[in-house]
Structure 1
Amino acid sequence: MLSLIFSLSSLILFVFYNWFFYLVSLFFFFFFFFCLFYGFDYFSFVSYYFMLDSISFLFCCLSIWLFIIVFISSFMFYYLDSLSNFFILCFHSLLLFLILDFIVIDFFYFYFFLECSLVPLVLMIFGWGYQPERLSAGFFLIFYTLFGSLPFLLEFFFLNMSLGYFNYLFYDFISSDYLMFFILFSFLIKFPFFGFHIWLPKAHVEAPTFGSMILAGVMLKLGGYGLIRCSFYIYYFLFNYSYFFISVCLFGCLYISLICMIQSDLSILVAYSSVCHMSLVICGLFSLTSLGLVGSLSFMIAHGFVSSGLFFLIGMIYDRLGSHSFFIVKGLINYLPPLSMFWFFFCVMNMSCPPSLNLFSEICLVISVLSWSSKTFLFFFLFFFFLLVMELWFFPWPSMAYFLEKMTLVSTCYVREYFVLVLHCLPIFFLMLDLSFF
């Protein structure tokens, strides 16, 4: 594990040399990482501080691949800027903290690197955000995360003194409901749980395109990863009170899907749809079934690529029209037919049409929650119906509505942008052909 961390850390030497060498080195790092660690058992390469298993391997691959895509999508706009070295430094620091977050074995280091990863992300939002409100969006992100993590930090010290450990390998069932609730609460805010999701749409609207891609693609998955790791400690709490959290998540899915149908901003709509999908993941994890775990894990991987691709499409439109509004973004199919084609692909993947990985994930999640209680059938029926209506509103209006005269000035798309969109689509389709990863 130290060789892996040292190899990733050494790539920072290319930050002050050439962005192209940094990109190529990052790609080769992903290639060797995937080839060397794929196919091992559940617990492999365990040391005193680090561990790599099948779950952390998937999230590490997701992080590295998405960061390659994000860097390709952003370097054309920032490598000529006077702050380009600082941008790549924040970018690489965030990747390093996320990889360390996924391979550590102790909850304290998980908390430490999680808070460290917020610093480069907030600096990106402050430095390259779109509106002056990006300052309040960054403070929202910091406040919600620190507010939810502080009880977890205090609880870590308490459990470490009483048990002598608090890590992934040696676990013991916690007897206190209050302690189990605060562990759960800290991860639900990061997910985000319905009722604590206010920071997410605001951060997505004010963040730059690459910031939204990183936030939706990787950062939201830290809450789900933490829930998977701490599920042994809070098993009794989930067994006794999972009905409350599943009920709130199902109600939140219905409520937010109705909110999505009245939105006029593209980025807010995608952010709220992410909240709906993450609520499904919480339901699958709290059903306490192996099928729910597989569905939640695969859905987080698929959602990382789909949501990142949708935010990149919205960023492409914003760079040409200067707006996210439905009332301005109209008639794309008349001037940008390939862009409308990718828009359609990502919309149908977002509503889990075959052959995307989202279909397999939602089948597993629905079966696991229905096996937990058959009364949830009505909620799923209404949620998927509203989700379908939302997607039928999300695709035809920007693509096929009556176009404005301003659209005649829109420039064509670059090959680089199509390449980024293809890199988003390929993992979703190819993972569906080989489900042994999950």
Structure 2
Amino acid sequence: MLKFIFVSVVLMGFVKEWWFIQISLFLMCFLFGCSMGHDFSVSGLGFSLGADHLGFILIMLSMWIMALVISASQSMNKNNNSPSGFLLVNLLLLLALILTFSATDYLLFYISFESSLIPTLVLILGWGYQPERIQAGIYMLFYTLFASLPLLVSLLSFYNLGGSLTIGVVSCVDQAGFVTFLWYFCTIFAFVVKLPLYLVHLWLPKAHVEAPVAGSMILAGVLLKLGGYGLIRMLCLYPEVNKMFSWFWVSVSVLGGVVVSFMCLRQVDMKSLIAYSSVAHMGMVMSGLVVFGWWGLTGAVVIMVGHGLCSSGLFCLANMVYERLGTRSLLVNKGLLNFMPSLGLWWFLLSIGNMAAPPTINLLGEINLIMSVVSWSKVSMVGIAFLSFFSAAYTLYLYSMSQHGVFFNSLFSCCSGKTSEYLVLMLHWLPLNILIMKAVMFMPSF
């Protein structure tokens, strides 16, 4: 772990060399992927840093998405919109993410978890598109800070009781009482907001709409996964209390996902629609985690990886359309197949990934989550059926509204796509379909 953190710090000295940063990040992904084949559960221990298999997966996802972010943000470099500062902020964010996913101490995890908020805020405020980005940044800042302070107090109380905050050493809370319920909600609420769950999701669409393409891709690709990762690490500390309140979380997750799906069907902004769809998908992740099942855990991790790649690719596509037409409105962006037929293929491939259709890895994750939640309660089958149906409905709405219909009259010519853009889209789509082949190979071992 230390060597990858050291490389991330060293790269900050080369922020004026755009191509060097790109090549270095892809090389880091390759070297990190080569070190993932070990059969031990924790590696690289030292300085309260290390990574198990879950940490490895999410660190790899962070490096991969960050490399694609910099490849997709070439316009920042060409327009001379402070490219060095842009690269520095992204590398700081990558460093915070690596520290978060490799922390073996809850306090270090909390500090790095919160520090990822600052570079994201700078990205939105510094390179956002509209004046409303200030409001979006304030929403994100205060939602996260308001929810995270009780988590710090909860961690300090764990240290006071057990004398240690090392992950795996902190003792679980078995008794059920009012004080335990209070600490449980204080601990979980920070990750529920970061996920985000329905009812505390208002900051996400605002942040996505006002952020540049890099901010949207990082938010969808990695930062939402911080909430799921934190839940995996913290829910195990309250096993008895979680069993008592799992019905509440599953109800809010599934029914909230259905409500958000209806909201997606009335969106006219591409980025807003993709952002609201993230709330529905992350609700399924929450419901799979709180039922404390092996199927739910594996399905949640698979969905986090698949959604990170798929949603990031859709935001990249929306940005390509915005750079050419100057708008993200679905009322204006009609008939894009007439002008950008090659991009229409990538719209289709990433859209079927968003609706969890085969052969993407999202299908495997949704099957696991559905089996987990339905085996926990047969009543939840109704909500999950609506959620799956409307997931396909709003994705088809996004695809058909943008690709078909009569094109905008004032649009007379448009670049269909550049080689670098096709490369970024392919590197989003390829892991979505390669990873499911690897998962199917190991299915018989279950």
Q: TM-score, normalised by structure 1?
A: 0.97
Q: Tell whether the 8 Å contact from 1:329 to 1:398 is kept in structure 2 after alignment.
A: yes
Alignment correspondent of 1:143: 142
Alignment correspondent of 2:417: 413
Alignment correspondent of 2:82: 83
Q: For the structure 1 residues 374 and 318, does the alpha-carbon distance in structure 2 shift closer, same or farther, using more than 3 Å as the test?
A: same
2:277 corresponds to 1:278: no
Q: Post-superposition shift, 1:79?
A: 5.2
Q: Post-superposition shift, 1:48?
A: 4.8
Deviates more, 1:107-116 or 1:128-137: 107-116
Q: Tell whether the 8 Å contact from 2:341 to 2:416 is kept in structure 1 after alignment.
A: no
Alignment correspondent of 1:324: 328
What is the identity, as a one-letter code, of the residue corresponding to 2:101?
Answer: F
Q: Post-superposition shift, 1:163?
A: 1.2
Alignment correspondent of 2:121: 122
Alignment correspondent of 2:133: 134
Alignment correspondent of 2:7: 7
Q: Tell whether the 8 Å contact from 2:172 to 2:236 is kept in structure 1 after alignment.
A: yes
Alignment correspondent of 1:384: 388
Q: Post-superposition shift, 1:411?
A: 2.4
Structure 2 CA distance for aligned equivalents of residues 299 and 420 of structure 1: 21
The answer for unaligned runs of 5 or more in structure 2 is none
Q: Tell whether the 8 Å contact from 1:309 to 1:346 is kept in structure 2 after alignment.
A: yes
Structure 2 CA distance for aligned equivalents of residues 35 and 276 of structure 1: 34
Alignment of 1:174-213 (within 5 A): 174=173, 175=175, 176-213=180-217
Structure 2 CA distance for aligned equivalents of residues 336 and 82 of structure 1: 27
Q: Post-superposition shift, 1:343?
A: 0.5
Partner SS, residue 356 of structure 2: coil
Q: Tell whether the 8 Å contact from 1:168 to 1:230 is kept in structure 2 after alignment.
A: no
Q: Post-superposition shift, 1:39?
A: 3.0
Residues 213-241 of structure 1: per-residue CA shift (max 9 Å, x gap): 00010000000000011122021121111
Q: Post-superposition shift, 1:77?
A: 2.9
Alignment correspondent of 1:45: 44
Alignment correspondent of 1:55: 54
Structure 1 CA distance for aligned equivalents of residues 74 and 89 of structure 2: 13
Alignment correspondent of 1:216: 220
Q: Post-superposition shift, 1:193?
A: 1.2
What is the identity, as a one-letter code, of the residue corresponding to 1:295?
Answer: G
Q: Tell whether the 8 Å contact from 1:40 to 1:53 is kept in structure 2 after alignment.
A: no
Structure 1 CA distance for aligned equivalents of residues 141 and 170 of structure 2: 30
Structure 1 CA distance for aligned equivalents of residues 409 and 203 of structure 2: 36
User: Percent of aligned pairs with the same residue?
Assistant: 38
Partner SS, residue 374 of structure 1: coil
2:250 corresponds to 1:251: no
The answer for unaligned runs of 5 or more in structure 1 is none
Q: Tell whether the 8 Å contact from 1:187 to 1:223 is kept in structure 2 after alignment.
A: yes
Q: Post-superposition shift, 1:45?
A: 2.9
Q: Tell whether the 8 Å contact from 1:284 to 1:365 is kept in structure 2 after alignment.
A: yes
2:230 corresponds to 1:231: no
Deviates more, 1:1-10 or 1:200-209: 1-10
2:427 corresponds to 1:428: no
2:375 corresponds to 1:371: yes
Structure 1 CA distance for aligned equivalents of residues 87 and 391 of structure 2: 37
Partner SS, residue 51 of structure 1: strand
Residues 127-184 of structure 1: per-residue CA shift (max 9 Å, x gap): 1101000001011111000001000111212221221112312131124221112111
Q: Post-superposition shift, 1:82?
A: 5.5
What is the identity, as a one-letter code, of the residue corresponding to 2:2?
Answer: L
Partner SS, residue 169 of structure 1: coil
Q: Post-superposition shift, 1:62?
A: 0.2
Q: Post-superposition shift, 1:393?
A: 1.2
Alignment of 1:153-192 (within 5 A): 153-174=152-173, 175=175, 176-192=180-196
Alignment of 1:390-401 (within 5 A): 390-401=394-405
Count matched residues.
437
Structure 1 CA distance for aligned equivalents of residues 250 and 53 of structure 2: 26
Q: Post-superposition shift, 1:53?
A: 0.7
Q: After the TM superposition, which segments of 4 or more aligned residues of structure 1 sit over 4 Å from their partners?
A: none
Alignment correspondent of 2:408: 404
Structure 1 CA distance for aligned equivalents of residues 289 and 338 of structure 2: 44
What is the identity, as a one-letter code, of the residue corresponding to 2:384?
Answer: F
Alignment of 1:8-47 (within 5 A): 8-16=8-16, 18-47=17-46
Structure 1 CA distance for aligned equivalents of residues 345 and 255 of structure 2: 33
Q: Tell whether the 8 Å contact from 2:2 to 2:44 is kept in structure 1 after alignment.
A: no
Q: Tell whether the 8 Å contact from 2:76 to 2:83 is kept in structure 1 after alignment.
A: no
Partner SS, residue 60 of structure 1: helix
Match of 2:313 among 309, 314, 321: 309
